[in-house]
């Protein structure tokens, strides 16, 4: 609930605004004429707690060597506050009006949030905060909008969406980094004095600097301890900071990273910053993720698409690359349908002169060289087999060797006099130009209208290294807005078409783009061992059903590693399952295993795609997680043995998230042909591969099951059902 008890009717004096969720509470100090700040954000407080008491408890003193008074914090951390270490806001008019100091002018409480309007009369700027607090989950969302009320243009160099304090006991920062095929790599570091800073200038969400982080105590793990989670819902350049001030306070901040001259506001114009999504948990890191998953599911994804089971995919990329041949593709489709695939996605190579990655990007008409009769016969073959048809596009890009680039060389982003950096032999179009967006919309629209297509894989495969527009000013921020607009335009013209977002694998997998699309491609690595880590990292922010998880070939094309079908299939089965291997060359026995995995995925899909995910703490030789139905009637747990173990047996496995009072039947549902190593383990003794055994939820959760010894690179799946 939001509490406006301090609002004195008619006087518009609201000193505090308080939001309560079952497990967390946020109190903002918003007295008129003072800076807007966070008074309290953390564990739930009884309603009887007096806000004035919190203020008293928080009184700070001045000190020798620093200001004589304790300086206030604000959500903007603007220069007028006079802080010596960190500012979250930098703007000026020709070198003047740079020292803004915002004061709360008006507070408009809403059902689950508030609009708080701040102003600085000296620099003639308005700063409006839109704050939403979901009272059931405790998910906090903040957007800020800066308006230039002055008579001359304002240059915005830097503006964090919001700067949010966290308690000093949050000593650990968990960030996510990586590269192509190694996305979502967790990095837990100790907070030191000064700044932790991640900057992304790639023009897309990025592999290297994921726009999300958590702050936690030294003891916080997946299932216990305090943590704060943050995500910037934006698919472009960003800056993420944690500042440990010399006065002891700790501030986290996130915002778009603006390039020089990128954000010049004419009189009356405004800049709307990208949204921060944040949450507090007193019950470990996994609980933060469940809040984020709930947010993605209920606020971002389209209800009609959520209601539809997500079809199992077959994607052609690793089977054929650019070697498209209609007869072979039809044969692949037939095989795919045979083993239970429900959607066939034709990847790169179907259009223009695109016979390799050097040529044809931008020419979005069906290639007559490889499809002499158009795509129709393949689409009809696929739909005739009862599958949906999907198609790959990379709308924002051109190869210089394309008809489009030859016709419109000026549509390309760049800097005059500066050679573009080569990057997969392609250049980025300035899609913020209406004529470019129109061309792309019309091209995509024509293909979708002419073919029975229900899916687009929307790719983007280069950094925006020099994102200058025609006038020479940077267009990186505008490019992101233009992307969202183009996605929405395609969506509203084709509401039944789902859109997958891809960017050299998982370089555009954020909550900003998910408000305009339906799933993301998690990584170009289909190596199941790497995927265990990548999918786990992604799960900090995104629920399993939006993560494309494909079974790759026996020998991974990216790592050269060979993994069993058992391991590959179990790993893909836990997300949005798909296949990306040559079904014409895989071993028949492996295809049987795969067919059964697809059957199992479909059988448990409703649970996997709607349940609550629990990442579990285990020894490093294992990676484990579970998905528990919201009513706690059933659950699936995955235990991957990722490395050899110095111990004879791994530890006991605790089935987190169950109802301690209920009785559950425990079964091992994967792999189907498990052989005990040496003597019988609990799996055999309890007949878990057969009828299973019944246990009390508390026993499964707190005592746990002694895991068997198993070969590295294997994965066990347990199914638990209430009886
Ligand atoms: C990117 C994607 C791949 C594939 C290729 C096609 O690398 O991440 O999945 O679509 O482009 O060129």
CA of 504 to the centre of ligand 1 (A): 6
Q: What is the mean pLDDT of the chain?
A: 96
CA of 459 to the centre of ligand 1 (A): 7
Q: Tell me which of 317, 360, 425 to substitute to probe ligand 1's pocket, judged by most ligand atoms within 8 Å of the beta carbon.
A: 317
User: Which residue's entry shows tokens 């023009």?
Assistant: 203
- In this prediction, residue 674 has a pLDDT band, given cuts at 50, 70 and 90, of confident
For the segment 175-185, the average pLDDT, to the nearest whole number, is: 98
Q: Give the C-alpha separation, 180 to 378, whole Å.
A: 31
For the segment 470-480, the average pLDDT, to the nearest whole number, is: 95
> Strands 498-501, 455-458: parallel, antiparallel or unpaired by DSSP?
parallel
In this model, does residue 7 exceed pLDDT 70?
no
Q: Give the C-alpha separation, 538 to 511, whole Å.
A: 12
Indicate the Cα dihedral angle 282, 286, 287, 289, nearest 10°.
Answer: 130
- Give residues (CB < 6 A) around ligand 1: 317, 347-348, 392, 459, 461, 502, 504-505, 521, 524
For the CA of 504, the closest atom of ligand 1 is 8
In this model, does residue 559 exceed pLDDT 80?
yes
pLDDT on residue 294 = 98
In this model, does residue 4 exceed pLDDT 90?
no
Q: Give the C-alpha separation, 609 to 544, whole Å.
A: 6
User: Which residue's entry shows tokens 């032999």?
Assistant: 425
- In this prediction, residue 2 has a pLDDT band, given cuts at 50, 70 and 90, of very low
Residue nearest to atom 1 of ligand 1 (CA): 504
Q: Give the C-alpha separation, 296 to 271, whole Å.
A: 25
What is the set of active-site residues?
459, 524
CA of 277 to the centre of ligand 1 (A): 29
The pair of structure tokens assigned to 84 is 């010596």
- Look at the alpha carbons of 445, 446, 452, 453 in this order and tell me if their dihedral is positive or negative: negative
pLDDT on residue 12 = 46
CA of 179 to the centre of ligand 1 (A): 15
Strands (DSSP E) found in 399-480: 427-428, 455-458
Please name which of 296, 297, 313, 292 lies closest in space to residue 548, comparing C-alpha atoms. 313
In this model, does residue 471 exceed pLDDT 70?
yes
Q: Tell me which of 178, 356, 504 to substitute to probe ligand 1's pocket, judged by most ligand atoms within 8 Å of the beta carbon.
A: 504
- In this prediction, residue 536 has a pLDDT band, given cuts at 50, 70 and 90, of very high
pLDDT on residue 675 = 86
Percent of the chain residues topping a pLDDT of 90 = 96
In this model, does residue 602 exceed pLDDT 80?
yes
Q: Give the C-alpha separation, 34 to 124, whole Å.
A: 16
Sequence-distant (≥ 6) Cβ neighbours of residue 659 within 8 angstroms: 632, 697, 722
Q: Give the C-alpha separation, 469 to 412, whole Å.
A: 8
Q: Give the C-alpha separation, 325 to 355, whole Å.
A: 11
Residue nearest to atom 11 of ligand 1 (CA): 504
Q: Tell me which of 354, 392, 500, 524 to substitute to probe ligand 1's pocket, judged by most ligand atoms within 8 Å of the beta carbon.
A: 524
For the segment 259-272, the average pLDDT, to the nearest whole number, is: 98
Instruction: Estimate to the nearest angstrom the gap between the alpha carbon of 663 and the chain centroid.
Output: 35
In this model, does residue 3 exceed pLDDT 80?
no
pLDDT on residue 13 = 59
């Amino acid at each position: 609930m939001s509490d406006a008890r301090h609002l004195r009717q008619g006087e518009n004096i609201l000193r505090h605004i308080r939001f309560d969720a079952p497990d967390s509470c946020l109190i903002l100090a918003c007295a008129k004429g003072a800076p807007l700040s966070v008074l309290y954000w953390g564990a739930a407080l009884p309603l009887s707690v007096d806000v004035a008491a919190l203020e008293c408890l928080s009184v700070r003193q001045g000190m020798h060597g620093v200001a004589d008074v304790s300086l206030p914090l604000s959500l903007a951390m603007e220069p007028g506050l006079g802080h010596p270490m960190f500012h979250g806001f930098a703007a000026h008019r020709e070198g003047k009006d740079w020292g803004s100091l915002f004061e709360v002018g008006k507070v408009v409480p809403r059902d689950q949030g508030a609009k708080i309007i701040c102003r600085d009369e000296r620099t003639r700027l308005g700063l409006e905060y839109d704050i939403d607090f979901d009272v059931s989950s405790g998910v906090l969302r903040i957007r800020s909008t800066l308006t230039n009320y002055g008579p001359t243009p304002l240059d915005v160099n830097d503006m964090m969406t919001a700067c949010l304090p966290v308690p000093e006991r949050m000593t650990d920062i968990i960030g996510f980094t990586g590269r192509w095929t190694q996305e979502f790599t967790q990095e837990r570091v100790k907070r030191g004095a000064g700044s932790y800073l991640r900057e992304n200038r790639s023009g897309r969400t990025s592999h290297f600097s994921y726009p999300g982080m958590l702050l936690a105590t030294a003891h916080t793990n997946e299932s216990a301890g305090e943590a704060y989670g943050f995500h910037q819902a934006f698919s472009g350049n960003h800056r993420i900071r944690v500042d440990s001030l010399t006065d002891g306070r700790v501030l986290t901040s996130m915002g778009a990273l603006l390039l020089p001259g990128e954000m010049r506001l004419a009189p009356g114009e405004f800049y709307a910053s990208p949204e921060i999504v944040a949450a507090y948990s007193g019950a470990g890191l996994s609980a933060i993720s469940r809040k984020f998953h709930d947010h993605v599911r209920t606020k971002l994804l389209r209800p009609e698409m959520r209601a539809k089971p997500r079809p199992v995919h077959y994607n052609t990329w690793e089977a054929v690359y650019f070697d498209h041949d209609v007869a072979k593709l039809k044969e692949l489709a037939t095989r795919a349908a045979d083993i239970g695939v429900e959607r066939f996605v034709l990847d790169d190579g179907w259009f223009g002169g695109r016979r390799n990655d050097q040529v044809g990007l931008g020419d979005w008409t069906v290639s007559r060289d490889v499809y002499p009769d158009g795509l129709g016969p393949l689409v009809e073959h696929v739909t005739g087999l009862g599958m949906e048809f999907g198609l790959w596009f990379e709308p924002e890009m051109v190869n210089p060797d394309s008809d489009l680039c030859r016709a419109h060389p000026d549509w390309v982003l760049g800097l005059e006099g500066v050679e573009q950096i080569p990057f997969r032999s392609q250049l980025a179009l300035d899609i913020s130009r209406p004529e470019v967006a129109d061309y792309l919309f019309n091209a995509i629209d024509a293909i979708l209208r002419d073919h029975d297509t229900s899916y687009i894989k929307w790719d983007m495969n280069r950094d925006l290294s020099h994102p200058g527009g025609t006038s020479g000013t940077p267009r990186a921020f505008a490019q992101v807005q233009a992307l969202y607009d183009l996605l929405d335009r395609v969506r509203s013209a084709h509401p039944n078409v789902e859109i997958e977002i891809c960017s050299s694998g998982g370089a555009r997998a954020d909550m900003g783009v998910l408000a305009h699309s339906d799933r993301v491609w998690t990584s170009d690595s289909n190596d199941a061992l790497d995927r265990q880590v990548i999918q786990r990292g992604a799960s900090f922010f995104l629920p399993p059903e939006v993560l494309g998880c494909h079974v790759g070939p026996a020998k991974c094309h990216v790592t050269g590693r060979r993994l069993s079908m058992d391991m590959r299939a179990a790993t893909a089965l836990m997300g949005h399952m798909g296949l990306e291997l040559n079904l014409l060359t895989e071993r028949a026995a492996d295809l049987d295993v795969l067919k059964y995995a697809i059957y199992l995925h479909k059988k448990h899909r409703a649970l996997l795609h709607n349940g609550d995910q629990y990442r579990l703490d285990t020894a490093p030789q294992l990676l484990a997680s579970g998905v528990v139905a919201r009513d706690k009637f059933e659950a699936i747990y995955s235990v991957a043995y990722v490395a050899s173990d110095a111990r004879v047996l791994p530890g006991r496995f605790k089935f987190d998230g169950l109802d301690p009072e209920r009785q559950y039947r425990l079964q091992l549902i994967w792999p189907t042909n498990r052989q005990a190593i040496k003597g019988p383990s609990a799996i055999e003794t309890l007949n878990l591969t057969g009828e299973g055994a019944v246990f009390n939820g508390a026993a499964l959760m707190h005592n746990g099951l002694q895991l068997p010894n198993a070969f590295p690179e294997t994965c066990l799946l347990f199914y638990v059902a209430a009886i």
